[in-house]
Amino acid sequence: MKVTSESQLRELYGFPSGRASKKSLFALDPHAKNFIHQSPFLVLATYNASGKMDNSPRGGKPGFVKILDDKHILIPDSKGNNRLDSLVNIVENGRVGLFFMLPGIDETLRINGSAEIRTDKHFLDQFTQEQNPPKTCLMIEIEEMFLHCAKALMRSQLWSIESQIARDTFPTMGRMLKDQLNGPEEVESHEDMVKRYQKDL
């Protein structure tokens, strides 16, 4: 049976209760600010005017996301591959979802809201310490924020040493792209890729 309505879902799952039904907040509290301040990694979800979706990883040293006030944060658009998928989606739609993670912590932080691409000097000046300062940053207005429980990361054992995959047992990015695109380039080793990327972090 294909599930096609919320009522069918509720028959299967019921309704949230207790803390799960009450945890959505509409602005940052001290715990969310602490989470963002210590987080070195997030996933940015966007979609364009026609509904095409994208998820993009963003990372930096802890504190790379700046908190402006209880309703606004700044995310630097660090140097990438210039596909600009997320930025084009924001220009067209302006809706975003954020998923913050902390190494070693199974709980996560989710934020939903709207985004603007900004080039204001007083915003960009907050990222001048970066090796490659961003050309733009994203100002996120928070509409919903909540902590997410630990179950998914506990099931995956994401932070467990035993779960780590040995680098030399997995295809390099160069190998995978060569197989996918069949381009003329030689297969780049993982070591060479890391050296090249170090210049662009």
Locus of tokens 């963002």: 36
Report the topology of domain 19-156.
Pnp Oxidase; Chain A (2.30.110)
Predicted confidence (pLDDT) per residue in 90-110, tens digit: 999 999 999 999 999 999 999
Rounded average pLDDT over 53-58: 97
Rounded average pLDDT over 183-197: 90
Tokens of 62: 């802890």
Other beta carbons within 10 angstroms of residue 109's beta carbon come to 22
Q: Which pLDDT belongs to residue 199?
A: 82
* Position 19 pLDDT exceeds 90: no
* Position 23 pLDDT exceeds 90: no
Predicted confidence (pLDDT) per residue in 61-89, tens digit: 999 999 999 999 999 999 999 999 999 99
Tell me the sheet residues that pair with 118: 137
Q: Which pLDDT belongs to residue 124?
A: 96
Q: Is 98 helix (H, G, I), strand (E, B) or coil?
A: strand
Dihedral angle, C-alpha 100, 33, 74, 99, nearest 10 °? 10
Q: Is 112 helix (H, G, I), strand (E, B) or coil?
A: strand
On whether the CB atoms of residues 48 and 92 are closer than 8 A, the answer is yes
Residue 22 binned pLDDT confidence (cut-offs 50, 70, 90): confident
Rounded average pLDDT over 11-15: 95
List the chain domain ranges: 19-156, 165-198
Long-range contacts of the stretch 160-166 (C-beta < 8 A, 24+): none
Can you state the angle between helices 190-198 and 173-181, rounded to 10 degrees?
Answer: 100
Give the length of the chain: 201
Q: In the predicted model, what is the mean pLDDT of the chain?
A: 95
Tokens of 69: 């006030």
